[in-house]
Amino acid sequence: MLLLPRAVRILLAAEPVDLRNSIDGLVALVRSGWKENVFAGHLFVFVSRRRDRVKVLTWDSGGFIVFYKRLEQGRFRLPQFHEGALGAQLDATQLTMLLDGIDLSHVRRPKKWSPEVAEGARQAPENLISTGRWHPARRVKLTTASGGRERKRSRRKSSGSSGK
Lowest mean pLDDT among 84-93, 96-105, 128-137, 145-154: 128-137
Q: Which tops the pLDDT comparison, 143 or 13?
A: 13
Give pLDDT tens digits for 60-100.
988 999 999 999 999 998 888 888 888 889 988 889 989 99
Does the pLDDT at position 149 exceed 80? no
What pLDDT is stored for residue 1 in this prediction?
54
Cα–Cα–Cα angle for 107, 112, 114, nearest 5°? 165
Q: Give the DSSP H or E segment for 96.
A: helix 92-99
Residue-wise pLDDT tens digits, 91-122: 888 899 899 988 877 788 788 887 775 555 55
16-60 pLDDT per residue, tens: 999 999 999 999 999 998 999 999 999 999 999 999 999 999 999
Question: What's the confidence (pLDDT) of residue 134?
Answer: 57
Q: Count the neighbouring beta carbons within 10 Å of the beta carbon of residue 53.
A: 18
Q: pLDDT value at position 129?
A: 47
Judge whether residue 136 has pLDDT over 70.
no
Q: What is the pTM of this model?
A: 0.66
